[in-house]
Structure 1
Amino acid sequence: MPKIALGTSQEAAQPDCIKALVVEFITTFLFVFVGVGAAMAADESGANALVGLFAVAVAHALVVGVMISAGHISGGHLNPAVTLGLLFGGHITVVRAILYWIDQLLASSAACILLKYLTGGLNTPVHTLASGMGFLQGVIWEIILTFALLFTVYATIVDPKKGSIDGLGPMLTGFVVGANILAGGAFSGASMNPARSFGPALVSWNWTDHWVYWVGPLIGGGLAGYIYENFFIVRTHVLLPQNEAF
Structure 2
Amino acid sequence: MVKLAFGSFGDSFSVGSLRCYLAEFIATLLFVFAGVGSAIAYGKLTSDAALDPAGLVAVAVAHAFALFVGVSIAANISGGHLNPAVTFGLAVGGNITILTGIFYWIAQCLGSIVACLLLKFVTSAESIPTHAVAASMSSIAGLVMEVVITFALVYTVYATAADPKKGSLGIIAPIAIGFIVGANILAAGPFSGGSMNPARSFGPAVVSGDFSENWIYWVGPLVGGGLAGLVYGDIFIGSYALVPPSEDYA
Q: TM-score, normalised by structure 1?
A: 0.93
Cα displacement string for residues 11-40 of structure 1 (whole angstroms, at most 9, x for unaligned residues): 232011011111111001101111000111
Give distance in 2, aligned partners of 1:124 and 1:49.
Answer: 19
Give distance in 2, aligned partners of 1:115 and 1:55.
Answer: 18
1:49 to partner: Cα distance: 1.3
1:120 to partner: Cα distance: 1.2
Give distance in 2, aligned partners of 1:99 and 1:37.
Answer: 26
1:10 to partner: Cα distance: 1.9
Give distance in 2, aligned partners of 1:167 and 1:239.
Answer: 18
Aligned to 2:150: 146
Aligned to 2:31: 31
1:117 to partner: Cα distance: 0.2
Aligned to 1:243: none
| AA partner of residue 236 (structure 1) | L
1:64 to partner: Cα distance: 0.7
Contact kept? 1:123, 1:204, Cα under 8 Å: yes
What is the number of residues matched between the two proteins? Answer: 240
Aligned counterparts, 1:18-167, within 5 A: 18-46=18-46, 49-72=52-75, 73-167=77-171
Aligned to 1:206: 210
1:66 to partner: Cα distance: 1.1
| AA partner of residue 13 (structure 2) | A
Q: TM-score, normalised by structure 2?
A: 0.92
Query: Percentage identity across aligned positions?
Result: 51
Structure 1 gap ranges (5+): 241-246
Q: Does residue 236 of the first structure (1) align with residue 242 of the second (2)?
A: yes
Q: Secondary structure at the match of 1:232?
A: helix
Give distance in 2, aligned partners of 1:37 and 1:166.
Answer: 29
Give distance in 2, aligned partners of 1:2 and 1:208.
Answer: 32
Give distance in 1, aligned partners of 2:60 and 2:136.
Answer: 23
Contact kept? 1:6, 1:94, Cα under 8 Å: yes
Structure 2 gap ranges (5+): none
Contact kept? 1:155, 1:162, Cα under 8 Å: yes
| AA partner of residue 28 (structure 1) | T
Q: Secondary structure at the match of 1:74?
A: coil
Cα displacement string for residues 144-199 of structure 1 (whole angstroms, at most 9, x for unaligned residues): 00000011111111112224533001101100000000000000000000000001
Aligned to 1:194: 198
> What CA RMSD, in Å, does the superposition of the two structures yield over aligned residues?
1.5
Q: Secondary structure at the match of 2:171?
A: coil
Cα displacement string for residues 42-67 of structure 1 (whole angstroms, at most 9, x for unaligned residues): 11111651111100000010111111
Aligned to 1:244: none
| AA partner of residue 21 (structure 1) | Y
Give distance in 2, aligned partners of 1:52 and 1:22.
Answer: 32
